[in-house]
Structures are given as C-alpha cells and as structure tokens.
Amino acid sequence: MTDRREPPDRSGRPEAGRFDLTGRRAVVTGAAQGLGATLALGLAEAGAAIVAVDRPGAPGLTTLTDRIEAAGGSCRPVGFDLADTEGLAGLADRIWGAAGPVDILVNNAGTARLEHFNQITVAGWRELMRINLDAVFFLSQRIAEQMIAAGIAGRIITVSSKNGLMAEAGLAHYNASKGAVELLTQSLAAELGPHSITANTIAPGMLATPIADDFPLDRPAFDDAWRDRIPLAGGPGSPEDCVGAVLLLASDAGRYITGTHLVVDGGVLADQLPRLRFMPPYRNTVRP
C-alpha cells in the first residue's frame, strides 16, 4: 500500500495552504446537528471529504449531506448508535471499506443531563459514559490502528469541554467523562506519536447548541448570569467559533501539536472570579 504517512508538501504555497485539507477524508461523529454539523461543514469547505456519523434516521444527516454536496464537496452519511460499544470496531471497518482511508477523526458526539449528584442512576451514568467516553476511545482505537497499517499521518480530534478542566454543579457525570477524555487524549498522543498521528482536544465553553436546551434551569436568569461571566465582548460563542481550532489541529499547520487542548470559551477559564464588574469603571489613560 502507498505510504501516506507524510502530509503533502505545501511549502511553496501561500500560508492559507497550510490549512488546505484537499485529498483528505474526515469522519465526524454527532454530525447531524449543532457543533458536529458546523465542524463537518468547516472541514468540507477546507477541502476534506466528509463521513458524517449520527444515529440511524437522524434527519440532519440528509440536510448536511445536501449542503456539502451542493457546495461541490463530498459527504457520506452513516447511521450508527455510538452507544453500541461492541459495534464500534465494525463501524470503523465499515467506513474504511466503503469510503476509503481516514485521515482525520473528529469525536464530537456527546450527551449531557443536568442532575444533582444524588439523582444520577447507575443506568444514567453508564449511558452517558458510553457516548462521551467509551465511543471516543474504541472508535479512536480502531481508526488509529487502521491509520498505522496504512502509513497515514492522521489526526484525532476530540470535542471535550471546559468542564473537562473545571467542574460545574449538576454535571458530575458529564464533568467526569470530559476529564477522562482529556487524559485519554494525552495517552493516545504518547502512544501514537511514533506513528506520526496526533491526538488533541478542543474544549468549548458555553455555545448555542441543542445539547443544553432541555436543562431544567431558570433560563433567562441563567443566560444573563452566563453572559456576565464571559470576559470577551460579544457574549456566548457559537459553533462557528470552534471551526478554526479544528482546522488548525486537522491540517498541516498543526502537525507538531499533540497531547494538548485548545480552549474556546471566551476567556471564562482565564478569569477565576468575575471581579471586574465590582471594580471602578475602566478609564483610558491614552489621550487621542
């Protein structure tokens, strides 16, 4: 088989060429809506052929496929329930056989529930872990082995969360899953580095996505408090704000980045206590 380990030489191209994914194939899980759909569209715009994975019958898969193909790209929808842990190796083999070699895996699929610690059941804990942690590892495991066998300098990118770096009340199981994903990614980076495969996470903050729509919250009050908590002007982020981070990690531009996380949260983790709002107003000392 042709050795595809080293990415194409783009040294003579403009700087934007470093982010060009033409000729590469990206698998995106949880791609039917929200952040997953946005990341798939961004990767397709950069030139990647997309394999979009989500639950069987998810209507968003058809919509995503139509959008990518209407723009001249390639998208193959795949229906699969990622909670089927035993079937993940078969899913990877099915993708490889039907779509071809995979260069980029984006583990985006995830779930969350807002519950007090004493409301979390054994069944609920295990269900969340199957999606947020087990699927990440076992799909990455199989695809990484396929990359090694094919000599591909691959990229494994997992959507973690700021909750993998700092806890939040009401989300003990979610926090635990994302914290585990962070250390799992470092482990993969250490073992896959000798095979020229990188493993990283992006850690978004609060985004306008469907995952938290059903949380039992006083929504207007919570949204106001959350906006006040974000240092960066402009309020909460959107899925589009994560596309650049994924393109960096997926492309030649990020070839020497591995075992780390890129936080996309508007500065929330940088500000331990929102003290600024209680300080005297800012006064500019530079006179125009």
Mind telling me the catalytic residues? Answer: 174
> In the structure encoding, which two tokens stand for residue 222, read together?
């919570």
Q: Given the structure tokens 């990622």, which residue do they identify? A: 82
